[in-house]
Structure 1
């Protein structure tokens, strides 16, 4: 078996991110526990392959045990919406970047939570047993010589570390939230712009959002899964992709990144606005001149994009 060189280029990371579930050579799907091989072919082409195709690699950069993503990726053409007041829209144009909020700043105190506090004993019991078993059963060639009390002490420490890590994770995780829908949403106008006359909705698609962020493989984009915390928990790696059932109306797709350096409450990530913004709709409460104002601001910042009145203001007949 080839020695891993650890030479992982941006192109190779993008290939793994975009082809995540399948070998790029034989197209076979990976299953949990399979080994995936990242490296370069004999013509130096980046490759992401399965065990059956690993002989196509001249150089193996890294190998991974395959795990499913904790989120599902929307279809490329899926429509995504972000509702905001006019000042935030101007900030988007001025900074030419998306604002990612640090997750401990959200109003939802369950952001990043694993479950309900009253059910924490069940969580602790499960992971204590998991840690005890892992300590008592080290990899082949390693003997566990710890006493039962030592095993218990280490397992308890690992459980404390897991909880402290969960709290700390909220301060290094940043999110940009979008609403997935084929149509404009009256409810989202109310929720995220307080139905202001000077609010706008930016429409994009999954593909446009991904491309506008320069295909950055460190930014995950996926659907939130809504779960009943009275009967289940969010997994250790799932917490920022799970929300309570009571938020299901949001149909949230989020872009998520981790930043271990910044202490700020949010960060702006540069993006290509010409790619990101497919259309701008103005609030149903906006006066007629507001469309012209948004067009003027777009022109000032060099953005050529369609600005439309809300479809909610269409006139019916009876």
Structure 2
């Protein structure tokens, strides 16, 4: 077996990120526990392959134990909306960057939570047994020589570390949220712009968001899954992709990144506004002059998108 060189170019990282679930040579759909191989072929072209195709690698950069993503990736043309007030819209244009909020700054106290406190005893019991079994059954070639007391102590330590890491993870995880919908949403106007007359919504697509961020493999973009935390838990790797059922109306697509060094409450990630912004809409209650203002602001920042007024207040006939 080739020694890994750990030479991970951006092209190779993008290749594995965009084709996470299958071998690029034979199309094999990876299953949890499979090994995925990243490396380079005869002409130094980046490759992402399965065990059966790994012989095609002239250089192996790294091997991964394949784990499915904790989120579902939308189709490329899935429509995404972000509702905001006027100042946030101008900030987006002037900074040419998307703001990612640190997750411990969200109003939702359950952001990143794995479950409800009253059910924690069942969670602890499950993972305590999980860690004990892992310690007693080490990989091939290793022998567990620990006593029952030592195994118990090690398992308790791992359980405590997982809990501490869960709290710390909120301070190094940053999120930018979007609403998935083919049409504008009256509820989202109310919820995220307080139905203000100076509110703005921009529409993009999954492809537009991903490409506007430079196809950055460090930014994960996927659907939030809504679960009943009275009956279920979020797994250790799933917590920031799970929310309570009471938030299901949000139909959230989130962009998420991890930064171990940033101590600020949020961070700006540069984006290509021409790729990001497909349409701009103003509040159903916006006066005519506000539409002209947004058009003037767009011209100032070289945004060649015509502004439309919300269609929610179109007049019916009977």
Contact preservation (8 Å) 1:278, 1:306? no
SS, match of residue 177 in structure 1: strand
Residue deviations 1:168-211 (CA, integer Å, cap 9, x gap): 00000000000000000000000000000000001000000000
Normalised by the length of structure 2, the TM-score is 0.99
Residues 232-271 of structure 1: pairs in structure 2 closer than 5 A: 232-271=232-271
Distance in structure 2 (CA, Å) of the matches to 1:34 and 1:156? 29
Distance in structure 2 (CA, Å) of the matches to 1:70 and 1:142? 31
Residue deviations 1:93-144 (CA, integer Å, cap 9, x gap): 1111000000000010000000000000000001100111111222222222
Counterpart for residue 42 of structure 2: 42
Distance in structure 2 (CA, Å) of the matches to 1:73 and 1:207? 11
**Which ranges in structure 1 are unaligned for 5 or more consecutive residues?**
none
Distance in structure 1 (CA, Å) of the matches to 2:26 and 2:306? 42
Counterpart for residue 291 of structure 1: 291
Contact preservation (8 Å) 1:176, 1:256? yes
Distance in structure 2 (CA, Å) of the matches to 1:167 and 1:23? 35
Distance in structure 2 (CA, Å) of the matches to 1:306 and 1:67? 43
Distance in structure 1 (CA, Å) of the matches to 2:132 and 2:75? 41
Contact preservation (8 Å) 1:200, 1:281? yes
SS, match of residue 90 in structure 1: helix
**Which ranges in structure 2 are unaligned for 5 or more consecutive residues?**
none
Distance in structure 2 (CA, Å) of the matches to 1:182 and 1:202? 13
What is the total number of aligned residue pairs between the two structures?
318
Counterpart for residue 11 of structure 2: 11
Counterpart for residue 67 of structure 1: 67
Residue deviations 1:189-248 (CA, integer Å, cap 9, x gap): 000000000000010000000000000000000000000111110000000000000100
Distance in structure 1 (CA, Å) of the matches to 2:140 and 2:26? 32
